[in-house]
Structure 1
């Protein structure tokens, strides 16, 4: 967790420096498109500050009032970042429309291009590093902040192309068109972050993680794990909460059922390389399971096994045994 905090603090410091650099470029050039990029940098700084707080809070242990931990605060961080990006996009579009009717003269474009190019390189390198670390540390906040910096770098690249064309051709109207395009792109980026955060706050099952769990279970499944269904995954910060139903032979005693459930728990934690808390409901098999059951020498089998069902995210997320697959 300390590593996450250090990364966010570095991103926050870098964001302040880059923001000041972009506003310097705007003051040099009077370019509306550069102002667009600078305004988005304000969002980077505010978002990194809240991201640091959310990582600090999510690291707190579970307590009586928060039995699932504090990890969901990361979704609030992503929501704030997405909301700020969306608002920045609206303001950027408003400024661009204003300059259609009241254009402003441009100057010192070459110096502005150099400063903006420097900020784009730093943002892309820092964003890529944060996204890679988010996968290793299983941090949604680092991922959102890193992707935002990458998005900022991509928009900066488009901005540089436009500024260079303006410098070569002298067609100042391109500045307004470029600002409108970047504003729309920023709006869409903000919407995607808002959508992701709301899904997490509403406990929407993470289907990508469901697919990852299915792949682990399919690869290492045991014959007496007859069926897995109604599997759901929610992310709480760096922790995962998984619940599912597992069908086991109905003649297993309670100790054997406990051993199999524990084996599934350990397998998923090891296979996902994450801290996952599982709630597994054990179901007894019924005769309708026999046609896809892999158990050899089963003493109660009513028909031969004739179907081999591959566990994928579609299959194991269904809230029913797989009688008709």
Structure 2
């Protein structure tokens, strides 16, 4: 089984088991705060099930109808998971507010705390495993599911502390207050996940990836690569797409241009952390490029070399040659 499918299947099985354990804790205690945690576990199960299906789609090879692959479905999966998390948080806040006004009887809190604490530890371990696997295999779905489980483990830890405080102080109204606090925390994390997935669905350039690529190009630049501009990167699941413009000497023939572009392609795929598909547009140099062009023995140079323009996020991402900076 593929590592991504294995990881999400483990997450799904664990989520089902922990959901059942949390509902057992709720029936033992009658605590609204524990019911809050159990209700969020339903979201965990639904999200993991949808994530499993999205990973199955994302691993399908490119075809005639999907020339860029199926990786973008992982962004949609993360969006759905964020929506589910946010809805769970909102429902929890309303339910907790009602129970704060009309409290119900709470009992066997320490038993409930033990169960919730155990589920929190397991969620944390599985969450770290999913995030590690997601980063290794460039899967936003696994990372999103892992962060969701870490969020759940943090809320469980806060819940355990709250349960102990309720038992020690006898302030049972804390049950509703804790639930509202956890609901707000859950809504915030759902928003962050939605924001990230929407950015990907809107083809928002991956700034961190662009920074890495700029460093690789700057550290390995060749004299014939006069400048690189209009560089953008989008990640669709495990698939990374980069396009940019490269200024080359205008007297290069098609074979030489092809070789230079192939060299850049190979550099990115060997030095970078992602398997990348590059779309490179070759621009001819202009006389205004001469002052920062390092080509040796150039027979058409019209101005002496003065200084190299270091490539950075400011000039590489703009759609203009560097002499306009």
TM-score (norm 1): 0.96
Matched, 1:92 2:92: yes
SS in 2 for 1:77: helix
* Structure 1 equivalent of residue 109 of structure 2: 109
* Superposed CA RMSD: 1.3
1:312 shift after superposition: 2.5
* Structure 1 equivalent of residue 54 of structure 2: 54
* Structure 2 equivalent of residue 78 of structure 1: 78
- Mapping of residues 2-151 of structure 1, within 5 Å: 2-151=2-151
* Change beyond 3 A, Cα 1:261–1:185: same
Matched, 1:270 2:270: yes
Q: After superposition, give the CA deviation of every residue in 1:165-196 in whole Å (9 maximum; x if it has no partner).
A: 11211111211111111111111111111111
Which residues of structure 1 form unaligned runs of 5+?
A: none
Q: Distance in 1 between matches of 2:176 and 2:280?
A: 57
Q: Distance in 2 between matches of 1:162 and 1:303?
A: 73
Which residues of structure 2 form unaligned runs of 5+?
A: none
- Mapping of residues 279-294 of structure 1, within 5 Å: 279-294=279-294
Q: Distance in 2 between matches of 1:289 and 1:154?
A: 55
- Between 1:289-298 and 1:113-122, the stretch displaced more is 289-298
Matched, 1:307 2:298: no
Matched, 1:173 2:173: yes
Q: State whether residues 74 and 237 of structure 2, in contact with CA within 8 Å, keep that contact through their aligned partners in structure 1.
A: yes
Q: After superposition, give the CA deviation of every residue in 1:119-146 in whole Å (9 maximum; x if it has no partner).
A: 1101111111111111111111111111
- Between 1:207-216 and 1:238-247, the stretch displaced more is 207-216
Q: Distance in 1 between matches of 2:191 and 2:185?
A: 10
* Structure 2 equivalent of residue 155 of structure 1: 155
